[in-house]
Structure 1
Amino acid sequence: MQFNHHAIIARSWPVALLLIAMSAIQSGASLAKTLFPVAGPAGTTSVRLILAALVLLVLLRPWRKSVSADAWKAIAIYGVALGAMNFLFYQALERIPLGIAVAFEFTGPLTVAVISSRRALDLLWVALAIGGLAVLLWPGSDTTGAVNWPGAACALGAGTCWALYILFGQKAGAVHGMHSAVLGVTIAAIVIAPIGIWEAGAALLEPRVLAIGAGVAILSTALPYTLEMIALPRLPTATFGTLMSLEPAIGALSGLLFLGQELGTWQWSAIGAVMCASIGTTLTPGAGNEPAAEPPRPD
């Protein structure tokens, strides 16, 4: 039996790029949490978005392309949703473990997938996801003390913003592609910066904060954006959705490796349930096999 090595490589390298992008996003989140004692979650969000916007503006110079009024509306909502998503996610990260925060946040794209589907089987995946999230908040399990309601609420709010980010990002990106993403990040920075400045003040200008913030901006935005934009056109929707479903586990592993956040058996099982629900919505009959269109998520 002969193997076509070129075909294998052609299928494998976009998958590898997407896995690297997801690992970078979660590593960036772990790095961001180290700034919370100095700059707070809002200040860290501001530094990350401002520096990411500056990097992307310099690299891509979106002002070279005109944007219609209708596109500006979608880009504006996309940018506000992006800023709120990052803000709420970091608020959640201050209160609950990284992997669990990602699991709660994953309700956003899962909801979008279910709403856009007409398959009765998706109700099974919804029930599985709800069951997993319920386990994370169930009193008396090994999750007690690791998850609190404010943190869970912030993560769920971030998931809602992620859903809006997907819907309006698709509208904006369909016309202006990566330029819309850069403008969205810039709008997000403008919206969130005043909150971060109010919370952290002059601490945002400390060399350590700027240096770590630059690392977070690269890991969580610039690097994954670049890698995902290369990988997405080369991946079928089903493959993309399946790989993205691994993100809660990658977040949990990142939290364990970089933050020492150990999870119990029930927590891993609950995260696995959310992942299976996400994979199920992607792979059950009716899921498309066209190239993926969902915009990347700079968490």
Structure 2
Amino acid sequence: MTTSARRAGLAAMVIGAASSQVGAAVGAHAFGAVGPAGVVAIRQVVAAAVLLPVARPPLHRFRWPQWWPTILLGLVFATMNLTLYTAVDRVGLGLAATLEFLGPLGVALAGSRTKKDVVCAVGAGAGVYVLVLPHGGSDWFGIGCGLVAACCWAGYILLNRLLGRRLPGLQAPAAATTVSVLLYLPVLAWLIGQGRLTGAALLFAIGAGVFSSVIPYVADLLALRRVPAGFFGVVMSIHPVFAAMAGLILLGQVPPPHVWLGILVVVGVNAVAATSRPKPVKTFPVRRDSRYVGHQ
């Protein structure tokens, strides 16, 4: 990984992370009218409306090696966004984003046998315990949704990286978002039938689509073509910090001290994990391989 590639990837990741958390805070303003599922449905439609005309993926030419990760990524989009927004609605943006961040951290630590990574895994668990401080009144459903979102984010990183080698340009997020839109058509039909798509709710949901889908999908795809998945997972530690700031500024959510402490512990563990992989890692430029993309 060259220095220029690392810098370009880092810039893309920071922009994508900040945009994603601003979008989550904006979308939360529409929860009262359309609920988390409604915001996700509109968000995916917006993403598809922007990405499809730009990327123009030749879906009729896709082969199975392209279709199966595309379908899986579409399912990941649909599940990750719904569970994250449900967690945001129930436990707040800062806590939800920190729980979701365990997915990239898991990618960063996966497959390692070093003592440092074992310590990091234990430290991450301790940070999450401090963050949640389980008690009888804990919202376990909201916490569980955050953990499901974490698993989805890990899958998102690995599938996006795989598709980045099999599809050129922005075809991967465009095609996967289309799959996700199809899954949410019943939700959109129900919202329209109930007359719940008010002007304000629609505006907030569209904002979430632009800031949390279009910009991050493009930024993450560009980053994953320049940096290893492990490095990507490490840098994603900025998400909980941006989430706490967005929740505080845009939603008026003031995290209690233990939440801030838990965020700092998880982010600190991630920073330590970053030093566990000093060796260079092969990156994968996009190839127009006839086995995958055909003659375009």
Tell me which of 161, 165, 170 is aligned to 1:170. Answer: 161
In 2, Cα distance between equivalents of 1:100 and 1:55: 30
Q: Is the 8 A contact 1:238 1:283 kept in 2?
A: no
User: CA 1:157 to 1:231, structure 2 compared with 1: closer, same or farther past 3 Å?
Assistant: closer
User: How far is 1:229 from its partner?
Assistant: 4.1
Q: Pick from 248, 254, 267: which aligns with 1:262?
A: 254
Q: Which residue of the other structure, out of 249, 259, 263, is the alignment partner of 1:271?
A: 263
Quote how far apart the aligned CAs of 1:32 are: 0.4
Question: Which residue of 171, 180, 183 maps to 1:179?
Answer: 171
Which residue identity lines up with residue 187 of structure 1 in the other structure?
Answer: V
Residue 113 of structure 1, aligned match among 108, 126, 136: 108
Deviation at residue 163 of structure 1 after TM alignment: 1.8
Residue from 15, 18, 21 that aligns with 1:23: 18
Asked whether the equivalents of residues 43 and 196 of structure 1 are also in contact (C-alpha less than 8 Å), the reply is: yes
> Does 2:120 align with 1:125?
yes
CA contact (8 A) 2:157 2:229 kept: no
State the match for 2:152 in structure 1: 161
Distance 1:229 1:285 in 2: 22
- Separation in 1, partners of 2:5, 2:132: 42
Aligned to 2:288: none
1:162 deviates by: 1.5
Q: Equivalent residue of 1:106, what SS?
A: helix
- Shifted more, 202-211 versus 248-257: the winner is 202-211
- 1:34-69 deviation per Cα after TM superposition (whole angstroms, max 9, x unaligned): 000110111111011112111111221112782211
Structure 2 residue aligned with 1:206: 198
* Map of 1:215 onto structure 2: 207
CA distance in 2, matches of 1:166, 1:277: 19
C-alpha contact 1:104 1:133 (8 A) present in aligned 2 = yes
Deviates more, 1:20-29 or 1:223-232: 223-232
Query: Residue type of the partner of 2:257?
Result: T
How far apart are residue 90 of structure 1 and its match? 0.7
Aligned with 1:136: secondary structure? helix
CA contact (8 A) 1:49 1:185 kept: yes
Instruction: Assess, with a 3 A threshold, how the Cα gap between structure 1 residues 228 and 167 changes in structure 2: closer, same or farther.
Output: closer
Deviation, 1:256, is 0.3
In the superposition, relative to structure 1, how do residues 21 and 209 fare at CA in structure 2: closer, same or farther (>3 Å)? same
Q: Which moved more, 1:13-22 or 1:87-96?
A: 13-22
Secondary structure at the counterpart of residue 88 of structure 1: helix
- Go from structure 1 to structure 2 and tell me whether the alpha carbon gap of 1:125 and 1:198 turns closer, same or farther (over 3 Å shift): farther
SS in 1 for 2:163: helix
CA RMSD of aligned residues (A): 2.9
1:244 corresponds to which residue? 236
**What letter corresponds to residue 48 of structure 1 in structure 2?**
R
Deviates more, 1:267-276 or 1:186-195: 186-195
- The unaligned stretches of length 5 or more in structure 2 are 286-296
Q: Deviations over 1:106-134 (max 9, x none)?
A: 12122222223232321111111111111
Q: Which residue of 1 aligns with 2:182?
A: 190
Q: Give the 3-state SS of the residue equivalent to 1:87 in structure 2.
A: helix
Moved more, 75-84 or 191-200: 191-200
Assess if the C-alpha contact under 8 Å between 1:26 and 1:254 holds in 2.
yes
Q: Give aligned pairs, total.
A: 283
- Specify the alignment match of 2:48 in structure 1: 53
1:99 counterpart = 2:94: yes
